[in-house]
Amino acid sequence: MNFYAIRAIYIFEMMRTWRTLLQSIVAPVMSTSLYFIVFGAAIGSRIASIEGISYGAFIVPGLTMLSLLTQSISNGSFGIFFPKFSGTIYEILSAPISYREIVIGYVGAAASKSIMLAVIILATARLFVAYEIAHPLWMVIFLFLTAVSFSLFGFIIGIWADNFEKLQLTPSLIVTPLTFLGGSFYSIGMLPPFWRNVTMANPIVYLVSGFRWSFFGASDINVGVSLGFTLGFLLLCLTTVWWIFKTGYRLRA
Amino acid sequence: MQPIISISGLGKRYASGFKALTNIDLDIYPGEIFALLGPNGAGKTTMINIVCGIVNPTEGTVVADGHDIRKDYRAARSKIGLVPQELATDAFETVWATVSFSRGLFGKPADPDHIAKTLKALSLWDKKDSKILTLSGGMKRRVMIAKALSHEPKILFLDEPTAGVDVELRRGMWEMVRSLQATGVTVILTTHYIDEAEEMADRIGVINKGELVLVEDKTALMNKFGKKQLTLNLRTRLTSIPAKLADFRLELSADGSELVYAFDPHDDKVGALMKGLNELHIDFTDIRTSQSSLEEIFVSLVRARP
């Protein structure tokens, strides 16, 4: 294992976060805080509680998950796309490192950044709404698994994308709508039966539900199913990354 | 002597069907400067990229310092440094950070002394804290060389190292390459500047349409394929070449004032020509000789192949 290479990639990527602190940390925390102020503190106070949980507290896991997903994808995709765009990918490809080490370096840094952001968001939310975490260990597990699997998903997008438009396409046209419609702001139990069934096809529902369970001990979907789905998605991403490096898809001619 | 790079039966066909390399066999020896010449699209960069691990070969093997580049890629790649043709840099990083990153990437522990020595050798020390985007093109090129040298490679590939740099910087690059050779580094360079290969290389390979046309010691190549030309300024103009000198295939200038004799450096007919001229009382006021350059040899080799 080339630990020096993993460390080099990880530090290099993390340094970008510190260089772009406003964009990487401050901006997403600010926009999520606005959600908490508007939907949690302002409108939330006029909305009845959901399953015994105040609306302000109810949206905390969903909003945290929204930021976690989008930032994981953004960090994971940009980390590998930028060397491709600038041409510096030659150095990664000619270095004595395996694809596992490349993935650990880039995805590790992307996941670290999004977990850091999620923790800041959770701390910031506490300023606006009161909430407790019923299962802290499971909260950390869901946070970690989601960050890693969606950073991997972002990494795949970063390799697939050959221009900036494609880089933004999946997050903005697929992931964000699915997250908004995945129970971030509501319980899927509030939907009519038809739309509830349609929503069950949305993979984000399982992530939000599992994460919410770790906060309140209650969820729309069995937590085992949520965990299984998260692990399944992780496995799918890992398999895709393995295939990419095995075939050299969009990396090695 | 064992070659430091041994290429056997190397071929590359891209997914589009384009065959970039065909059955390349080449040995490169430790400590030499090897220049790979060829027109655009000849396959020079593809060959370098395969050796460095950026492109997968379709067939054949490459062994670098005793390590197969595919089966034992970690050991093989750790011996190789690459300066690609394009100026690809991390624009927002400092010189120090990007060179240190390269060293780590190649599996070496941090060594600030080595990084400092490399930057000083490349006249980049006073720019170590500058962001790369603030540097000139020539400095960026040197940063890329510093990155390639950061892990102390035994083999250095320079893909068109002086493309687009001014004459002074080119000279500086040549000196740097020679100093690297003096430390035992094997240098393989591709170039469009034939004078660069003529100035620096120990051996020359010519590649055309994916095939290695020849590999020769530079001096031997120039002796083998180079032509010499002898020009005589005549005291009295001639209207035609005397029949007695027909065997020499001389050329007479349009105004009859110059006789030109093109000959192989190995033949010994110059003396006979002089004797013949003397017998015919053809006197001359000046005599000049010239030898064909590597560029002329290269062009003739490439044109000779369909």
| Predicted confidence band of residue B293 (pLDDT cuts 50, 70, 90) | low
Tell me, rounded to whole angstroms, the distance of Cα B146 from its chain centroid.
20
Contact B104 A7 (CB under 8 A): yes
Contact A248 B56 (CB under 8 A): yes
Partners of residue A19 in chain B, C-beta under 8 Å: 92
**Three-state DSSP class for residue A227:** helix
Asked whether residue B263 is domain-assigned, the answer is yes
To the nearest whole number, what is the mean pLDDT of chain B? Answer: 88
pLDDT score for B48: 95
pLDDT score for B66: 94
- Parent domain of B249: 226-291
pLDDT score for A28: 86
pLDDT score for A100: 92
Q: What is the CATH number of the domain that holds B248?
A: 3.30.70
Question: What is the tens place of the pLDDT at every residue in B68-122?
Answer: 999 999 999 999 999 998 888 888 899 999 999 999 999 999 999 999 999 998 8
Contact B56 A253 (CB under 8 A): yes
Distances (CA, A) of A253 to A240, B46, B50, B55, B282: 18, 10, 10, 5, 66
pLDDT score for A55: 83
Question: What is the tens place of the pLDDT at every residue in A188-226?
Answer: 888 888 888 888 888 889 988 999 999 988 888 889 999
pLDDT score for B123: 86
Map tokens 């985007």 to a residue: B133
**Ramachandran quadrant class, B90 (left: phi over 0; alpha: psi -120 to 50; beta: rest):** beta
Tokens of B209: 């349409």
Question: What is the tens place of the pLDDT at every residue in B260-292?
Answer: 988 876 677 888 888 889 989 999 999 988 776
Residue B204, strand partner residues:
B35, B216
Asked whether residue B253 is domain-assigned, the answer is yes
Residue B287, strand partner residues:
B232
A96 close contact with B: CB closer than 8 A: yes
Instruction: Please give the radius of gyration of chain B, using alpha carbons only, rounded to the nearest integer.
Output: 25
Contact at 8 Å (CB) between A158 and A92?
no
Map tokens 């102390």 to a residue: B152
* A91 closest CB neighbour out of B73, B105, B107: B105
Give the mutation candidate from A23, A90, A99 for the B interface (greatest B CB count, under 10 A).
A90
B205/B228 Cα distance (integer angstroms): 22
Asked whether residue B235 is domain-assigned, the answer is yes
CA-nearest of B91, B94, B90, B98 to B129 is B94
Which residues of B make CB contacts under 8 Å with A?
A: 14-15, 49, 52-56, 73-78, 80, 82, 84, 86, 88-93, 97, 100-109, 147
Tokens of A135: 């299962």
Distances (CA, A) of A127 to A57, A59, A205, B180: 11, 14, 26, 61
Asked whether residue B257 is domain-assigned, the answer is yes
B65/B78 Cα distance (integer angstroms): 10
| Residue B164 confidence (pLDDT) above 80 | no
User: Nearest C-alpha of chain A: how many angstroms from B106?
Assistant: 5
pLDDT score for A183: 83
| Predicted confidence band of residue A27 (pLDDT cuts 50, 70, 90) | confident
- The number of distinct structural domains making up chain B is 1
Percent of chain B residues topping a pLDDT of 70: 93
> Regarding beta strands B284-291 and B228-234, do their DSSP bridges make them parallel or antiparallel, or are they unpaired?
antiparallel
| Predicted confidence band of residue A176 (pLDDT cuts 50, 70, 90) | confident
| Predicted confidence band of residue B5 (pLDDT cuts 50, 70, 90) | very high
Map tokens 């997914």 to a residue: B15
pLDDT score for B292: 66
What ipTM was reported for this prediction? 0.85
Question: What is the tens place of the pLDDT at every residue in B212-266?
Answer: 988 988 888 777 766 778 899 999 999 999 988 888 888 899 899 999 988 876 6
A121/A61 Cα distance (integer angstroms): 10
- Residue A26: which residues within 8 A CB-CB, separation 6 or more? none
Asked whether residue B73 is domain-assigned, the answer is no
Question: What is the tens place of the pLDDT at every residue in A117-168?
Answer: 999 999 988 888 888 899 999 999 999 999 999 999 999 999 999 899 888 8
Distances (CA, A) of B277 to A68, B42, B50, B245: 92, 46, 57, 8
Asked whether residue B275 is domain-assigned, the answer is yes
Asked whether residue B189 is domain-assigned, the answer is no
| Residue B304 confidence (pLDDT) above 70 | no
A221 close contact with B: CB closer than 8 A: no
Question: What is the tens place of the pLDDT at every residue in B119-163?
Answer: 998 889 999 999 999 998 888 988 999 999 999 999 999 998 877
- Residue B175: which residues within 8 A CB-CB, separation 6 or more? none
- Residue A111: which residues within 8 A CB-CB, separation 6 or more? A72, A75, A76, A144, A147, A148, A151
Map tokens 């892990």 to a residue: B151
